[in-house]
Chains A and B, each alone.
Chain A
Amino acid sequence: MTDKMGINGKKTADTSKAWFEIDNAANLYAGARSRDWCRTYRTALVFDEEIDPAVMQQALEDTAKRFPYFCAKLRDGLFWSYFERVDSVPRLVPDTDFPYRPILIEGNDQPNFRILYYKNRLVIEAFHSLSDGGGSNVFLSTLAGRYFELKGEVIPKTDRVLDVNSAPLECETVDDYKANADKNAKAQNVPKTDIYLGENNAEKNFVQLIHGIMRADDIKAVAKKHSLTVTEYFTVLIIYTFIKCADAPIEKPISVSVPIDLRKRFSSSSLRNFVYMTDVTFEPKGKTDIEFSQICESIKGKLGAKATREYLVSSISANVAAQETPVIRVVPYAFKKVFLKNSYKKSQQAYTTFFSNLGLFEFPQGLSRHIVRAESCLAFTPHMHFGCACATVNGILTFTFSSSNRDTERQKFFFRFLANDGVPVRIESNIYE
C-alpha cells in the first residue's frame, strides 16, 4: 500500500495492483457459482428524464476509473479465487433482456457487473462477490451524479456520491469481516435447516418484477400502528402471505432471510461485501387461520436482537475463522469449491425467501431532484425463485417482488393487504398489457 493521503487525511488505496483478494462473504458466492449462474442483484434509479446514452457512457468511463476494485473479474487461484483488474471500459447496454441475465464469469473479459439503461431507468446488475447492495449503490449513485454533472448540474460530493477525480481510498477496499472478527467470540447457533421452501416452478429465463410504489410516510405510519419497524412489518407480511397463499397447510417453519448492513454498526467505509444475513422464523404448525397480529407478536424485536454488535461480531467471527483454519487454507481451490458449493446450497435451503430493505437513498441537492425513485431487486438462487426487496428515495418507497414464474398469487395478496391496511400502492411491472 502506498502512504499517500486522500481526502480528509484518509489513506489512498494502492491502485497499482493488478489483482486483489476477495472478501470473506465473496468467497462463498465465488465458490457457489456455476457456468451459467452466479448470485446477482439489481438496483435501479429512475430519473425524471430519458437517459442520454452518449453522456451516460462518458459518465461510466469517468466513474469506472474511481472504482478500480469494482471494475474487476473473478479468477480462480490455486488456493482461493481472486479479482483481476479490468482496464477495458465497461459498456453501457440497453436493458432489453429479462432482468438477471447471467453474468458470465468464465471466458468473459468484462467486469463482473453491467450497467443498463432503458428510457428513464438506470440499472446496475452485479455479481455479489464484487460488492453488496450498499457498496454498488455508491457506484450507481456516483455514476448518476457524474451523468448530471456532465449535463451541467452542480452536484455536491458526499459519502454516497463520490468525486470521480479523487483517488480511491484504502478504507473502501478493506475486508471489514476480517478487520472486525474476534477470535474469542462465541459461535452462534446455525439456523434450522428443515424449512418450508414453497413451490419451485421456475420458467427458463423468465423473470417477473412487480413494483409496489408507495409513500414512505404511509408505510411508516402503518408499521407504527402495529408497533413494528418498516422492515419488521414487511417481514411479517411476507410470512403471512406465504401462509395464506400456500396450496396446503404449512407444517414446517417459514424463514425469511434479512440482510443487515454492517457499515453503520461498525463505522465502515468499505465498498466491498459487508452485510450479515440474519433470519426471521415463524412456525405455522399446519394452522391456516393465523392472524397477522399473531405473527407480529411472534417476531417483534427478533430482528433487533440479532442486530446487536455482540451478536454480529460472534457471527462474522465464526465465518472468518472457518476460512482462516490452516488446514482449509492449504487445500487447493478446486477442492474447496466443491465444499463451498455444498455449503451455499445448504445455507440457501435454510430460508423460505429473501427480503432486503436497502433503506433510504440520500442524494445531494442537484441530483436529488432528478431521482424519482430507486428499485432494489434480488435475483434467484438455483433453489429459490422468489425474492423481495425495497428502497426509498425522496419519500417514495418501492417494494419489488422478483419471481421466475407467471403466478402472481402471493404478490396480489401482499399488495391487496397493504392497500386495505391503509397504504395506497401503485403497481408497475416488466410484464404488462
Chain B
Amino acid sequence: MRCKECNVDLAKEYTKCPLCGAAAVDEPPVIEDIETAPYPRYSDELLTRDHSIKSDFPFKYILRAVMPVCAVLWIIYFITKNENAVCLTVPVLTGLTAAVYFFLSLKEKGRLLHYSVSLTACAAFQLVMLILSAVTGTGTVYAAVSFAFAAVLFILLFALRTKRMSAQLHATFKF
C-alpha cells in the first residue's frame, strides 16, 4: 500500500495514511520485503486510566500539612500571647506525626529509610522551634527536646538494624 499524498509506503493492513489521513492506494511498495510489526488496537478506557498510586497519600502529605499548621500556631502565639497554641498544640501535633510515621514504618519495612528521612525533617523543624522557645521563654522547650530526642533515637535504632545507613554515611563522609 502507498500514500500518494505523502509519497510513502504503508503497511499492507492500512486503509489510511497515518501522516495525512488520505486513503491508502493499493500499489506495490518501493521498499520491498519489510514485514509489518503490528500494534494492538487500544481501548478508550486506556485514555482515562489513572496510573498513580493512591495508598501513598499519608506519607506525602502529613509532614507538609503539619509544618505550616505549626508555623501558623506560632504566629497566633505572637499575636494573642496564648501559650496553649504553642506549648500544647505544637508538641501534640508533631508528636502525633512522629507516631504516625513510626507505625507506618513498622507496617512497611521497605520504607524505613524513607520515613526516617521525614522524621529527620521533623526533628530539624523542632530544632527551630526549640531555639524559638528558648528565645521567647515558652514551655515548648521540653516537648521539643523530647521529640527531637525520639527522632534521633529512631534513626540510631534504624542504623543499628541495617547496614544501608552506615554505608550511606560512609559514601557521604568517606570515613
**Interface residues of A, Cβ cutoff 8 Å to B:** 19, 21, 35-36, 44, 46, 48, 75-80, 82, 94-98, 101-102, 104, 106-109, 118-121, 203-206, 209-210, 212-215, 329-330, 332-335, 372-373, 375, 396, 408, 411-412, 415-416, 419-420, 424-433
Contact = CB atoms under 8 A, between A and B. Distances in A.
Among B13, B17, B19: residue with most chain A CB under 10 A: B19
A74 to B, nearest CB: 11
A164 to B, nearest CB: 25
B59 to A, nearest CB: 8
Given A102-B52, A424-B9, 18 more contacts: A46-B35, A77-B164, A79-B172, A95-B40, A96-B42, A97-B42, A108-B53, A118-B40, A120-B37, A205-B51, A372-B37, A373-B37, A412-B6, A420-B7, A424-B31, A425-B31, A428-B11, A428-B18
Given A106-B56, A120-B37, A415-B19, A78 B49 contact: no
A396 B121 contact: no
B116 A106 contact: no
Interface string B43-72: 000111111110110001000000000000
Nearest to A102: B51
B121 A213 contact: no
Interface in B129-158: none
Contact of A433 (B15, B165, B172): B15
B78 interface: no
A433 B11 CA distance: 11
Given A36-B51, A424-B9, A77 B37 contact: no
A427 B10 contact: yes
B34 interface: yes
B19 A411 contact: yes
Contacts of A82: 164, 168
Contacts of B14: 432-433
Contacts of B25: none
A334 B121 contact: yes
A21 B164 CA distance: 11
B175 interface: no
A297 to B, nearest CB: 27
A431 B21 CA distance: 11
B8 A428 contact: no
The 3 closest A-B pairs by CB, nearest first: A36-B52, A426-B9, A429-B18
B118 interface: yes
Given A106-B56, A205-B49, A427 B19 contact: yes
A101 B164 contact: no
A429 B52 CA distance: 27
B120 interface: yes
Given A21-B171, A106-B53, A119 B38 contact: yes
A334 B125 CA distance: 13
A427 B48 CA distance: 28
Given A78-B116, A107-B55, A332-B121, A427 B15 contact: no
Interface residues of B, number: 53
Given A35-B52, A102-B51, A118-B39, A78 B120 contact: yes
Contacts of B11: 426-428, 432
Given A213-B31, A428-B36, A329 B47 contact: no
B18 A431 contact: yes
Contacts of B121: 332, 334-335
B18 A210 contact: yes
Contacts of A424: 8-9, 30-31
Interface of B: 3, 6-11, 13-20, 29-31, 34-40, 42, 46-53, 55-56, 60, 110, 113-114, 116-118, 120-121, 164-165, 167-169, 171-173
B20 A412 contact: yes
B50 to A, nearest CB: 8
29 contacts: A35-B52, A75-B113, A77-B117, A78-B120, A79-B172, A95-B40, A97-B42, A104-B51, A106-B56, A118-B40, A119-B37, A120-B35, A121-B37, A205-B47, A209-B39, A213-B34, A329-B172, A332-B117, A335-B121, A373-B37, A396-B34, A416-B6, A419-B6, A419-B7, A425-B8, A427-B19, A431-B18, A432-B16, A433-B15
Contacts of B110: 75, 109
A58 B44 CA distance: 33
Contact of A98 (B38, B42, B118): B42
A206 to B, nearest CB: 6
B34 A432 contact: no
A102 B116 CA distance: 27
B113 A78 contact: yes
Contacts of A205: 46-49, 51
A94 B113 CA distance: 34
Contacts of A21: 171
Contact of B171 (A75, A79, A118): A79
Contacts of A78: 113, 116-117, 120, 165, 168-169
Contacts of A416: 6-8, 19
